Amino acid sequence: MSFSPDERGFYGQFGGAYIPEMLYANVEELRLKYLDIINNERFQKEFHRLLKYYVGRPSPLYYAERLSNRYGTHIYLKREDLNHTGSHKINNTIGQILLAKELGKKRIIAETGAGQHGVATATVCALMGMDCVVHMGETDVKRQMPNVLRMKMLGAKVIPSMSGNRTLKDAGNEAIRDWINNPTDTHYLIGSVVGPHPYPDLVAKFQSVISEEIRWQLKEQTGSELPDYVLACIGGGSNAMGAFYHFIDDAAVKLIAVEAAGLGVDSGETAASIARGTDGVIQGARTKLMQNADGQIIEPYSISAGLDYPGIGPAHAYLHSIGRTIVLDATDDEAIKAAFELTRLEGIIPALESAHALAALPKMKFLSSDVVVVNISGRGDKDMETYIKALR
Ligand SMILES: *Cc1c(COP(=O)(O)O)cnc(C)c1O
C-alpha cells in the first residue's frame, strides 16, 4: 500500500508547494526526480543496508509488561530510541543523503532548533564525506550547546541566525536564503514531514520503515499484524507518520497523535497546532498552524524542543480532517510524569517528546484484550537537566 499526495503534493486541501519564484528550480528538480530515485532497486538496497548495519534496525518492538499491568492492557514500545544518534530522525537523514548523492549534490544544508536534526544531518554528512552547513538560531546555539559541539565534532559548520528572536523560524529563513544562493550543488535536508512538496511525502516514505517493522514484529509476537491502537507524539509529525503509515488503510487500527499542550491548550503557551490552529501556509505548505487574525505566526511553547513548532505536516492536517486520526494533547507536567512512570516501571528513559505520547495512556480507555503500540521516538539523555529539575 502507499499513502501518497497527488502529483502537486496535495492531501485533500492541504499540502502543495507555496514557494518563492527563486526556489522553483530547486524544488521542481526534486519533485520530478524523487520517486524514480527512491523506488530504484539499487537505492532501496543501499538504504536498507545502512538502516540495518549503521542505524541498527530493526529497532525492537518490546512488550512492556509492567506498564501494561498499570493500564490493564497490552502495551508494546517501538524502540526508535535505540537507533544510532538516539532517535527516529536518522531514518530520514540516511534516506535524504543517498538521494542528494544521486542528484549529484556536494553540499548539505539544514536548519535545527534543539539540534537533534542537526546532529542526525551532520552524522550522515560525515558518513558520506559531504560538506554540511547547519543553520541554527543564536538563542538555540546558546541553550543547546552539547548538540552544537556534537555537530562541530562531526565536521559540520554551525551558522547562528541573528534575525528575529533567533530561534527555529529564523534558522529556517536563513536556510532558504542559503538554498536560493546555492541552487546547483546544494541539497536542503528537511527534518520532518513539513515544507513544500515533495518533502512531506519523501520524509513519510523514509520514516515508514517504522510501521513496516511494527507489522511483522507484532505478527511474530501476537499472531496478528494489526494492533488496536498506535500512539505517537507529533511536532512536525515525522515519527507519527512513520508509525502510522502502513496502517492508514486498516480502518480497525486507531491512530492517535499527541500534541504538546505546553502549559495547556487554552493557556496561550502551547504548541497544539491542530487544537489551536487554523488553515494557512507555513514553510511552503498549506496546513494547520497557530496564527493570529492577521496571519502572523503565534510563537509556540512546549517544554520539549522537538515539539515546539507552530505548524503540523500537511498529511496530518488531512488525516485529522477526515477523521482517520484522533488528536490528543499532553501538558509539560503530564509528559514529565509519564517519563518518570516509564523509567521506573521499565527502566527506559524516554525523550521528552516521546513522553507526550506516553502521557496519553491515562487519558484513554482500553480493553484488557487491546494491543497498543507506543512509538518511543527518542531517548532521554538530552533531557536530563529538565528531568532532574523535576526530581527536586
Ligand atoms: C525531533 C523529534 C520529535 C518531533 O519531530 P516529529 O517530526 O514530529 O517526529 C519527536 N521525538 C524526538 C525524539 C525528536 O528528536
The domain 56-86+207-391: what is its CATH number?
3.40.50.1100
- What integer pLDDT is reported at residue 367 of this predicted model? 98
* φ, ψ dihedrals at 200, nearest 5°: -60, -40
The atom number, within ligand 1, closest to the CA of 194 reads: 7
pLDDT tens per residue, range 323-346:
999 999 999 999 999 999 999 999
pLDDT of amino acid 147: 94
Assess whether the C-beta atom of 377 lies below 6 angstroms from ligand 1.
Answer: yes
Average pLDDT of the segment spanning 239-243: 98
For ligand 1, whether the C-beta of 161 sits within 6 Å is no
According to DSSP, residue 132 is labeled E
Query: Fold match between 10-50+89-203 and 56-86+207-391?
Result: yes
| Ligand 1 site, residue 87, Cβ cutoff 6 A | yes
Closest CA to ligand 1's atom 3: 306
Work out which ligand 1 atom sits closest to the CA atom of 307.
Answer: 4
pLDDT in tens, 106-134: 999 999 988 999 999 999 999 999 999 99
pLDDT for residue 96: 98
| 239 Cβ inside 6 Å of ligand 1 | yes
Give the whole-angstrom CA distance, residue 317 versus residue 13: 9
- Cα 298 to middle of ligand 1, angstroms: 20
Work out whether the CA dihedral 194, 199, 201, 202 comes out positive or negative. negative
Where are the chain's structural domains?
10-50+89-203, 56-86+207-391
Identify the pLDDT of residue 169: 85
Q: How close is the Cα of 32 to the center of ligand 1, in Å?
A: 28
Atom of ligand 1 nearest to the CA of 192: 7
For cell 492577521, name the residue. Answer: 294
**Is there an atom of ligand 1 within 6 Å of 354 CB?**
yes
Cα 155 to ligand 1 centroid, rounded to whole Å:
23
Residue 167 Cβ inside 6 Å of ligand 1? The answer reads no
Q: Which amino acid is at 255?
A: L
- From ligand 1's centre to the CA of 244, what distance in Å? 14
Q: Is 195 in the pocket of ligand 1 (CB under 6 A)?
A: no
* Ligand 1 pocket test, candidate residues 192, 207, 384, most atoms within 8 A of CB: 192
Q: Stretch 163-186: mean pLDDT, rounded?
A: 91
* Percent of the chain whose pLDDT exceeds 70: 100
For ligand 1, is residue 306 a contact (CB within 6 Å)?
yes
Burial of 179 (0-12, 13-18, 19+ CB in 10 A): middle
> Across the chain, what does the average pLDDT equal?
96
Q: How far is the CA of 376 from the centre of ligand 1 (A)?
A: 10
Whether residue 234 has its Cβ less than 6 Å from ligand 1: yes
Output the pLDDT for position 205. 98
C-alpha cell at 251: 480502518
Ligand 1 atom nearest 191 alpha carbon = 7
Residue 41: what residue type? E
- Regarding the beta carbon of 86 and ligand 1, being less than 6 Å apart is answered no
3-state secondary structure of 387: helix
Ligand 1 center to 223 CA (angstroms): 30
Q: What are phi and psi of 4, to 5 degrees?
A: -135, 155
Shortest-distance Cα residue to atom 2 of ligand 1: 306
Please calculate the CA angle 128-130-134 and round it to the nearest 5 degrees.
120
151: confidence class by pLDDT, cuts 50, 70, 90: very high
How, if at all, do strands 107-112 and 186-188 pair?
parallel
Note the pLDDT of residue 164: 85
Task: Give the catalytic positions in this structure.
Answer: 89, 111, 377
Task: Tell me if the pTM is above 0.85.
Answer: yes
Ligand 1, atom nearest to 234 Cα: 8
Cell of 290: 497557530
| Best mutation site among 87, 199, 287 for ligand 1 pocket (most ligand atoms within 8 Å of CB) | 87
> Please, what sign has the CA dihedral across residues 173, 175, 180, 181?
positive
Residue 167 has pLDDT above 90, yes or no: no
pLDDT of residue 84: 98
Domain 10-50+89-203 matching CATH 3.40.50.880: the answer reads: no
